[in-house]
Chains A and B, each alone.
Chain A
């Protein structure tokens, strides 16, 4: 069974601070996705990374995929209260069907004004 570990589990910061969230696995990802979930809603896709070493930017969010495709990070610059939410990484693995997307436990981010 492939496991995803996210850290930290909880993060509370002040507006304007920077932060990084991590997603790690002992297995090689075929692909990895990051989602954000707000209270009372379903997760919404932020980005998909496929290639080792890949870096993608979405406004103040920077996503990196490790060279060995076993880890990923999400960095937020100058966080705003609107960034508050649950950030989930989800990966597919070579060993399992592409239909079985495995989710991490999530990082609950709170940005205080």
Chain B
């Protein structure tokens, strides 16, 4: 069972370069999410997609764009990378965006360094 798969696992960019982080889930989940994790700041929501065809901003969306390509895939794009975007990025999915019990299933992260 693959679950949530993220690529690449590691990436080094120079300031101003662009890149796309890929995420795919095989659990037939409706909702998908992008978080970043920084020391001392926990996980912060960048963007989410409650269902195929919809995307919404999270807590820290500036500098990022997303595409919900289909039900399985949700990509995160950095158009012009900045050192402040150095972080570990996690993609997650859940069966529904309900307010209570739907757990998140996470990928293993992409470690991005911007120099």
Contacts and interface: CB of A to CB of B under 8 A. Distances in A.
Contacts, number: 69
Given A48-B101, A99-B31, A100-B58, A42 B109 contact: yes
A40 B31 CA distance: 23
A84 interface: no
Given A42-B4, A45-B103, A97 B97 contact: yes
Nearest to A4: B42
Interface residues of A, number: 27
A44 B106 contact: yes
Contacts of A48: 100-101, 103
Contacts of B74: none
Interface string B8-36: 00000000000000000000000101010
Chain A: interface secondary structure?
loop
B1 to A, nearest CB: 13
Contact of B45 (A9, A31, A43, A100): A100
B56 to A, nearest CB: 7
A55 B4 CA distance: 30
Nearest to A1: B59
A50 B25 CA distance: 27
Interface stretch (A14-22, A70-78, A101-109): A101-109
A98 B42 contact: no
A110 interface: no
B39 to A, nearest CB: 9
B96 to A, nearest CB: 9
Interface of B: 4, 31, 33, 35, 40-45, 48, 50, 56, 58-59, 90, 92, 97-109
